[in-house]
């Protein structure tokens, strides 16, 4: 009987699913889901399959995104949070390729815009611009890469929810 009472107390006192802080509310439509590309790519490559898991952590103060391309040959993790000093949503993205990015997310009508700066890479893009929106239950987006001081053409992509998918980040 004591076990049952203790279990009920724990169940009743367990925190509910984290609600985001108001500064991160614009990320709510994307978060709490796992997404997989069904069309396009962020870099224009063929056979691009990105699996991305967006989740609330630290009592809704942070969004963690883990993702992998294909079978995990490339993977990364982002931690997104509100920065009171800058008054912006910022993040750091680290990768298995040895580089990282720092970025700013700006809420816009029907989605978000993202500007990131690549650090620690000897080649490839030095900045990226992208935007994401949810439409008909799918995540739509585009991205452009700054390479050698020149912005490339925008690549478009579409993700759909993939609840059973798991990013391979090992």
* In a domain? residue 102: yes
Residue 143: exposed, middle, or buried by beta-carbon count in 10 A (0-12, 13-18, 19+)?
A: buried
Residue 65 lies in a domain: yes
Residue 94 lies in a domain: yes
What's the Cα-to-Cα distance from 126 to each of 69, 102, 164, rounded to whole Å?
Answer: 20, 11, 34
Is there a domain that residue 112 lies in?
yes
Burial label for 65, CB within 10 Å (0-12, 13-18, 19+), is buried
Whole domain around residue 155: which residue ranges?
19-161
Reported as type and span, the H/E element at residue 88 is: strand 88-95
Residue 140 resides in a domain: yes
Report the SS3 class of residue 13. helix
Residue 7 pLDDT class (50, 70, 90 cuts)? very low
Q: What is the CATH number of the domain that holds 66?
A: 2.40.128.20
pLDDT of residue 73: 87
Bridge partners of residue 106, in order along the sequence? 113
Tens digits of residue pLDDT in 63-115: 999 999 988 889 999 999 999 999 999 999 999 999 999 999 999 999 999 99
pLDDT tens digit string along 115-138? 999 999 888 899 999 999 999 999
Residue 33 resides in a domain: yes
Domain count, the chain: 1
Q: Is residue 42's pLDDT more than 70?
A: no
Q: Do the domain assignments include residue 1?
A: no
């Amino acid at each position: 009987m004591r076990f049952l009472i203790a279990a009920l107390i724990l169940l009743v006192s367990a925190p509910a699913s984290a609600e985001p802080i108001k500064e991160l509310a614009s990320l709510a439509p994307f978060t709490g889901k796992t997404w997989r590309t069904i069309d396009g790519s962020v870099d224009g490559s063929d056979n691009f399959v990105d699996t991305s898991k967006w989740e609330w952590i630290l009592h809704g103060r942070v969004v963690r995104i883990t993702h992998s391309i294909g079978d995990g040959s490339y993977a990364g993790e982002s931690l997104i949070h509100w920065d009171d000093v800058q008054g912006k949503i910022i993040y750091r993205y680290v990768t298995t390729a040895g580089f990282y990015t720092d970025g700013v997310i700006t809420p816009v009508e029907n989605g978000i815009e993202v500007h990131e700066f690549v650090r620690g890479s000897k080649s490839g893009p030095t900045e990226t611009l992208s935007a994401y929106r949810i439409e008909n239950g799918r995540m739509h987006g585009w991205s452009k890469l700054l390479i050698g001081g020149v912005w490339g053409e925008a690549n478009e992509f579409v993700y759909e929810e993939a609840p059973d998918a798991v990013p391979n980040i090992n």
